[in-house]
A = this chain, B = another copy of it.
């Protein structure tokens, strides 16, 4: 069970950013932000003053009332309840404007008619982007469990399977090893079941979603990932599942081969490993995100794979992304991203190349930014693993 000092540490990280912007209080109600600040998914509102203890106002009484935990029916009660406790009304209040629906935002803003409203989302995402020791430990455990589950993939393979068949078995293995299954994303540009398994030319089919690789999917209602392609000799298979074991999404991809693949495929995979190694040597606090992308693209170009790097018909505009309670957090390792890495950030790095007629090759691991470099959170070799 998460203890109060950890929660206070997280809230204080948000408070420090509020103070810089002269914000008096935050009202937090979106699921992942409550998970971050309260330590579990709850239904209600956390009122977080910049310089005083937080109060939680609970809807649907699913927890006992207690110290600074109050039951309510509707958010319109909050300001009166604060007033009754002698807590001054906020002059500048922040609400989760990038996450709340417009209707919910207006409703909450109307509960504090005297307050100027600011956007809480970028501040909370910034606070969340620097992980605490506790969060890092959960990520380390998640990475180990994720890698352990991937180790079982070869024994889940049977000749004659389609990509869908193998995906179902990999999902089961992930679940058996403790993956909660749910895959949380920020915004609505990404939807996926547990992750993707791609082989052959399906890997190059563009998806409407903002994932590194696409895939046609099995139905127009979820056009991403496996599409029923048979797994045949000469193909590669990339497994890219979200590793949600404790709420934190570790991200990891491994390439598998069926039968013999050509030297060119082996070379392309080696280029991805080289790109990862290059990142390992450069990434540290202060590294500018775009340089990691630029270095990756330059290496892909030098080896003649630029047109297949991160897609064929369409190329993903990034080579890595921050991870945490959601799969798409800051920072983004992409062109023109001037943000610098900071100690405590966790990101996924996923150089991938698509080989026409064969499938995707490459690697993805999750990385922690340490005081002087990066630490890998998802263990295990990056070499291609034969199936069958």
Residues of A within 8 A of B (CB): 1-2, 30-31, 35, 39-43, 60-62, 95, 97-106, 119, 121, 168-169, 171-172, 175-176, 180-182, 187-189, 191-194, 206-210, 214, 218-223, 244-247, 314, 325
Closest partner residue, chain B, to A208 (CB atom): B43
Give the contacting residue for A220; candidates B40, B103, B182; CB below 8 A. B40
Closest partner residue, chain B, to A247 (CB atom): B221
Give min CB distance, A2 to chain B, whole Å. 7
User: For A35, what are the chain B residues with a Cβ–Cβ distance below 8 Å?
Assistant: 220-221
Interface of A (DSSP majority class): loop
Identical copies of this chain, number: 2
Closest partner residue, chain B, to A106 (CB atom): B102
User: For A223, what are the chain B residues with a Cβ–Cβ distance below 8 Å?
Assistant: 40-41
Please measure, in the bound complex, the distance between the C-alpha atom of A106 and the C-alpha atom of B192, giving whole angstroms: 27
User: For A210, what are the chain B residues with a Cβ–Cβ distance below 8 Å?
Assistant: 60
A247 touches B218 (CB 8 A): no
Task: List, sorted by A's number, 26 A–B pairs whose CB atoms are closer than 8 Å.
Answer: A35-B220, A39-B220, A40-B220, A40-B221, A40-B223, A41-B191, A41-B208, A41-B221, A41-B222, A60-B208, A61-B314, A62-B207, A95-B102, A101-B101, A103-B119, A168-B172, A168-B175, A171-B175, A171-B181, A180-B218, A180-B219, A180-B221, A182-B192, A220-B247, A221-B244, A221-B247
Closest partner residue, chain B, to A1 (CB atom): B220
Give min CB distance, A278 to chain B, whole Å. 28
Please measure, in the bound complex, the distance between the C-alpha atom of A244 and the C-alpha atom of B169, giving whole angstroms: 19
A31 touches B191 (CB 8 A): yes
Contact status of A208 and B62, CB under 8 A, knowing A191-B31, A246-B219, A246-B221: yes
User: For A176, what are the chain B residues with a Cβ–Cβ distance below 8 Å?
Assistant: 168
Give min CB distance, A373 to chain B, whole Å. 29
Closest partner residue, chain B, to A42 (CB atom): B208
User: For A189, what are the chain B residues with a Cβ–Cβ distance below 8 Å?
Assistant: 43
User: For A191, what are the chain B residues with a Cβ–Cβ distance below 8 Å?
Assistant: 31, 41, 182
